[in-house]
C-alpha cells in the first residue's frame, strides 16, 4: 500500500538521477485496461509489453501487491511500489442464506457502503455475482431499497472489479455470470461500468465471455443508444416493471424523463441493429402491474420489440403498503402472459430474500433513509 511518505520517497528517487523515474505518483494499477497500463509504462520509459504482464497478474493471477509480481524485474517492482498503490475495500458485513446466497457489504470509506450478492443456482451449475455500480442511486424506483438512500457517488472500475475478486476469494469459487443489478444505475456510471465489463470479458483477465455479463438499466435512453452505437457485446436488460405508459412513472420515476414509448423504441433499435435478444425485468406487484391490461400491454411491447424475453420476479419489499404476490397470483400471471406472447418468460425465484439480498432489497438495513 502506498504510504503518506510516498512524495518524499519519490523525490529521493528522482534526485538519485535514475532515468526511469515514474512520474504518476497517484497511479492505481487495479481497474486499468492493457492500453492504459501501456500508456503509463511508456510515459515512464518502461517497455510496453510489461502492461500485459501486469494485467494478467492483476486479474488472472489476482496478485495483491507488487511483491507477488515475480514476472517483473525487481527494479521495476521497486519503482512501482514507490509511485502506486494497491487499493482495498473492507468487507463490513457478510450474511449467508439457507439457499446458499451470500450478501457482502463493502465499506468504500467511512459512511459509504455498497453491496454485492453471490447467487448459486439450485443445481450449482450457475454461480452469479450481482454487483453494484454506484453508492446509493439517484433514481427513485418505488419498490427499491437502494433508491431510498442518499446518492454518494459513482464507483471506480477497480471498486466494481474488487467486488468480484473479494466475493470469489471469500466464497472460494469463481462466478460463471456477472450481473450489474446491484446498487445504482449502471448507465449513470457508463464509462467505469463498460471498462469493468471489458476487463471481466478479457481473455487475459477474468475471461468470462460477454454473454455471461449482463448490464441493466431502469431506462436511461441516451445511454442505451450509446451502448448500441458502440456495439457493446454484453447482455442487456431493461427494468420495465410497468407496461402501462400512463402509470409507469408511479413505479419508475425515470419514466417522467424517458417515457415508455422512447424506451421501447430504443429496445427495438437494440434488437434490430445488434441482432440480439433484449431482456425485460418485471417485478410483479399485486394490484399495481399484474392486471390483464398489463399482460396485454406486455405482449404488445414484445411484438413491437421482437427478439426479447421477460424475467418476472415477485416484489420483495413492502414499501407503500405493497405486498409480495402469492404463488397462485404468480402462476396465473405467468400462465396468462404465456398465452398472449411467444417470447420466453422466465419466472425467477428470489434467492437470498431472508438476508436482504434479493432484487430490490439491497441496503434495506441502512439507516440513511432519504424519503
Ligand atoms: S432499481 Fe436500480 S435504478 Fe432503480 S432505484 Fe434501485 S438501484 Fe436505482
Specify whether 43 is located in the same domain as 100. Answer: no
What is the predicted pLDDT for the residue at 364?
58
> Both 220 and 127 in a single domain?
yes
Q: What's 63's domain CATH number?
A: 1.10.150.530
Q: Looking at the domain assignment, is residue 64 inside a domain? A: yes
The closest-lying atom of ligand 1 relative to the alpha carbon of residue 134 is 7
Q: Are 143 and 105 in contact (CB under 8 A)?
A: no
Residues 66 and 122 in one domain: no
Per the domain annotation, does 365 fall within a domain?
no
Ligand 1 site, residue 218, Cβ cutoff 6 A: yes
Residues 204 and 75 in one domain: no
Whether residues 135 and 54 fall in one domain: no
C-alpha 276 – ligand 1 centre gap (Å): 24
**Residue 361 counted as domain residue:** no
The per-residue pLDDT for 23 is: 55
Domain annotation covers residue 190:
yes
pLDDT in tens, 136-179: 999 989 989 887 888 999 999 999 999 999 999 999 999 999 99
- The more confidently predicted of residues 123 and 175 is 175
Q: Is residue 192 part of a domain?
A: yes
Q: Are residues 45 and 128 in the same domain?
A: no
What does pTM read for this prediction? 0.90
Whether 115 lines ligand 1, by a CB cut-off of 6 Å, is no
Question: Does one domain contain both 255 and 290?
Answer: yes
Residue 244 lies in a domain: yes
* 101 shares a domain with 49: no
**Are 178 and 276 in a shared domain?**
yes
Q: What percent of the chain has pLDDT over 90?
A: 76
Number of domains in the chain: 2
pLDDT at 367 over 90: no
Torsion angle defined by CA atoms of residues 313, 91, 132 and 161, in that order, rounded to the nearest 10 degrees:
-120
Q: Whose CA is nearest to atom 5 of ligand 1?
A: 147
| Residues designated as active site | 115, 359
Asked which of 51, 83, 115 is the last residue of a domain, the reply is 83
User: Which tens digits make up the pLDDT trace of 1-16?
Assistant: 433 333 223 333 333 3
Residue 177 and residue 67 share a domain:
no
Q: In angstroms, what is the span from residue 156 Cα to ligand 1's centroid?
A: 18
Q: Is residue 367 part of a domain?
A: no
Q: Are residues 21 and 151 in the same domain?
A: no
Please indicate whether residue 364, judged by its CB atom, sits closer than 6 Å to ligand 1: no
CA of 142 to the centre of ligand 1 (A): 9
- Cβ atoms within 10 Å of 145's Cβ, excluding its own: 21
Calculate how far, in angstroms, residue 233's C-alpha sits from the geometric centre of ligand 1: 23
Asked if residue 120 has its Cβ within 6 Å of ligand 1, the reply is no
Q: Is the same domain home to 159 and 115?
A: yes
Q: Is 144 in the pocket of ligand 1 (CB under 6 A)?
A: yes
Range of the domain at 47: 6-83
Amino acid at each position: 500500500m502506498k504510504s503518506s511518505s510516498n512524495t518524499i520517497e519519490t523525490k529521493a528517487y528522482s534526485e538519485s538521477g535514475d532515468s526511469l523515474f515514474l512520474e504518476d505518483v497517484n497511479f492505481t494499477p487495479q481497474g486499468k485496461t492493457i492500453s492504459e497500463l501501456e500508456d503509463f509504462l511508456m510515459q515512464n520509459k518502461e517497455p510496453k509489453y510489461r502492461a500485459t504482464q501486469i494485467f494478467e497478474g492483476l486479474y488472472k493471477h489476482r496478485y495483491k501487491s507488487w511483491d507477488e509480481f515475480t514476472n517483473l524485474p525487481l527494479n521495476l517492482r521497486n519503482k512501482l511500489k514507490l509511485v502506486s498503490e494497491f487499493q482495498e475495500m473492507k468487507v463490513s458485513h457478510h450474511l449467508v442464506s439457507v439457499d446458499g446466497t451470500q450478501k457482502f457489504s463493502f465499506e468504500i470509506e467511512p459512511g459509504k457502503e455498497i453491496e454485492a450478492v453471490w447467487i448459486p443456482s439450485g443445481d450449482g451449475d450457475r454461480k452469479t455475482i450481482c454487483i453494484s455500480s454506484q453508492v446509493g442511486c439517484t433514481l427513485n424506483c418505488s419498490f427499491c431499497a437502494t433508491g431510498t438512500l442518499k446518492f454518494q457517488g459513482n464507483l471506480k472500475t477497480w471498486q466494481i472489479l474488487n467486488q468480484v475478486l473479494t466475493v470469489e476469494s471469500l466464497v472460494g469459487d469463481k462466478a460463471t455470470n456477472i450481473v450489474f443489478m446491484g446498487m445504482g444505475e449502471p448507465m449513470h456510471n457508463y464509462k467505469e461500468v463498460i471498462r469493468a465489463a471489458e476487463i471481466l470479458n478479457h481473455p487475459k483477465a477474468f475471461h468470462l465471455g460477454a454473454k455471461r455479463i449482463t448490464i441493466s438499466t431502469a431506462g436511461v435512453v441516451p445511454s442505451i443508444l450509446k451502448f448500441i452505437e458502440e456495439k457493446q457485446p454484453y447482455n442487456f436488460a431493461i427494468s420495465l416493471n410497468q407496461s402501462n405508459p400512463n402509470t409507469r412513472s408511479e413505479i419508475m420515476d425515470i419514466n417522467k424523463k424517458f417515457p415508455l414509448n422512447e424506451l421501447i423504441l430504443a429496445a427495438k433499435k437494440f434488437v434490430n441493429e445488434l441482432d440480439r435478444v433484449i431482456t425485460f425485468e418485471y417485478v410483479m406487484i399485486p394490484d399495481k402491474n399484474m392486471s390483464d391490461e398489463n399482460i396485454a400491454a406486455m405482449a404488445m411491447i414484445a411484438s413491437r420489440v421482437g427478439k426479447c424475453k421477460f424475467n418476472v420476479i415477485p416484489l420483495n419489499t413492502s414499501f407503500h403498503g405493497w405486498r409480495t404476490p402469492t404463488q397462485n397470483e404468480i402462476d396465473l400471471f405467468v400462465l396468462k402472459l404465456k398465452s398472449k406472447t411467444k417470447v420466453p418468460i422466465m419466472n425467477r425465484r428470489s434467492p437470498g430474500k431472508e438476508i436482504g439480498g434479493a432484487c430490490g432489497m439491497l441496503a434495506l438495513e441502512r439507516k440513511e433513509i432519504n424519503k
